[in-house]
Amino acid sequence: MTKRWLKYLAIVIAAAVIYQLFIKEKGVPSLSPRDYAEIVKSDTLRTTLEFNSISMMQGPDSIEGFHYELIEAFAHDHGLEVSVSPLMSMKERLKGLEEGRFDLIADGIPVTTDRNDSLVFSIPIGRNHQVLIQRKPQNAEDSLRLVTSQLDLAGKTLYIVKESPVILRIRNISMEIGDTIIVEEVDKYGPEQLLAMVAYGDIDYAVCDERIARMAADSLPQIDYSVPIGFTQFYAWGLNRKAPVLLDSVNTWLQRFMQTKRFKALAKKYHI
């Protein structure tokens, strides 16, 4: 058990260290929402995203990740530097965007209508859906815990990352099946740490993006992610509503870049 928790802790510490390195290098930004002209004047685009195997992670030799490399490409093509602040909490990312600490959330945010008034979405960058994470049965006792449909979620406890939008879908499922689904929001860990906790038996069920689960299954073959929790949704970057020129610049660039070989190679690398 100690070794497992040390593994989870190491991933969290890695995210914190990278955050501190970026802050130390780029400095702490002032609290003021900016549009494209102010960003160009400062030479630096301030962004935030989640630390995971899709968005941003520590590779063998450098920082990598689909959204990290994509925002780096946008900045390069516009002659800008990028200040990246990895944050595990969606609430903190949204708060930073609203306050102006960040110009853009360079992460795969589900495109929904129930976000705060300061947020606008870029054009969709991809599609994804939420899935239930559970262990594959190894014996008769495990088989009794196996969830094969959403009806089996009655009375179960699902662990999710704190402030995850999937909580709304879980509440809807609870109403649809006419029974209680217990939700535990976790603020210490991201989706990959919850995946590991399920795999090693510390918790029984979690919910996360299907792509993250699929990538994690290579190293955690004992997990099952076959039961969908949410519908397939478009995912996009998030920007401040007070930055319409930046939004237009991002959308124009994405429309063009997503047709290139560079984007297709990036999408293939991260199974997007």
Beta strand pairing call for 44-49 and 104-110: parallel
**Structure confidence by residue, pLDDT tens digits, 83-119:** 999 988 888 898 999 999 999 999 888 887 555 677 9
The mean pLDDT value for 195-214 works out to 93
Q: Which amino acid is at 197?
A: M
Answer whether 2-127+233-269 and 130-224 agree in fold: yes
Q: What is the pLDDT of residue 30?
A: 52
Q: What is the pLDDT of residue 139?
A: 79
What confidence category does residue 58 fall into, taking pLDDT thresholds of 50, 70 and 90? confident
Average pLDDT, the chain: 86
Q: Sketch the domain layout of the chain as residue ranges.
A: 2-127+233-269, 130-224
**Structure confidence by residue, pLDDT tens digits, 166-199:** 888 999 999 999 999 999 999 878 888 999 999 9
What confidence category does residue 29 fall into, taking pLDDT thresholds of 50, 70 and 90? very low
The mean pLDDT value for 145-169 works out to 91
Tokens of 268: 């293939």
pTM of the model: 0.79
The mean pLDDT value for 209-238 works out to 91
Distance CA 143, CA 227 (A): 15
What confidence category does residue 24 fall into, taking pLDDT thresholds of 50, 70 and 90? very low
Looking at the predicted structure, is the pLDDT value of residue 82 above 90? yes
Name the one residue in this structure whose structure tokens are 């058990």: 1
Tokens of 249: 């610049």
Q: What is the pLDDT of residue 26?
A: 47
256 or 32: which leads in pLDDT: 256
Identify the architecture of domain 130-224 in CATH.
3-Layer(aba) Sandwich (3.40)
Looking at the predicted structure, is the pLDDT value of residue 271 above 60? yes
DSSP character for 231? -
Q: What is the pLDDT of residue 125?
A: 94
For domain 2-127+233-269, the CATH class is alpha beta
With CA atoms as reference, report the closest residue to 118 among 98, 146, 91. 98
DSSP labels, 156-169: -EEEEETT-THHHH
CB 161 within 8 A of CB 191: yes
